[in-house]
Chain A
Amino acid sequence: MSARNGVLSDTRELRVVGFLCNWCSYGGADTAGVARFEQPTDLRIIRVPCSGRIDPLFIMRALVSGADGVLVSGCHPRDCHYAEGNYYARRRLELLKQFLPITGIDPQRFEYTWVSASEGARWQEVVTKFTNRIHELGPAPRMQGGSGYDELCLKQIEEGVKQGPACPCHKERAL
Chain B
Amino acid sequence: MWVRSTLAYRTSFALMTFGNFAASGLDFVAIWLMFSRVHALGGFALPEVAFLYGTCSLALGLADLLVGSLDRLGARIRDGTLDVLLLRPAPVYAQIAADRFALRRLGRTSQGLLVLLWSIGHLDVAWTAGRILMVPLMAVCGTAIFGAVYTAGAAFQFWAQDAAELQNSLTYGGNALLQYPPTVFARDLVRGVTFVIPLAFVNWLPALWVLGRPYPLHLPGWTAFLGPAVAALMVAGAALAWRHGVRAYRSTGS
On whether the two chains bind one another, the answer is no
B-binding residues in A (CB < 8 A): none
A-binding residues in B (CB < 8 A): none
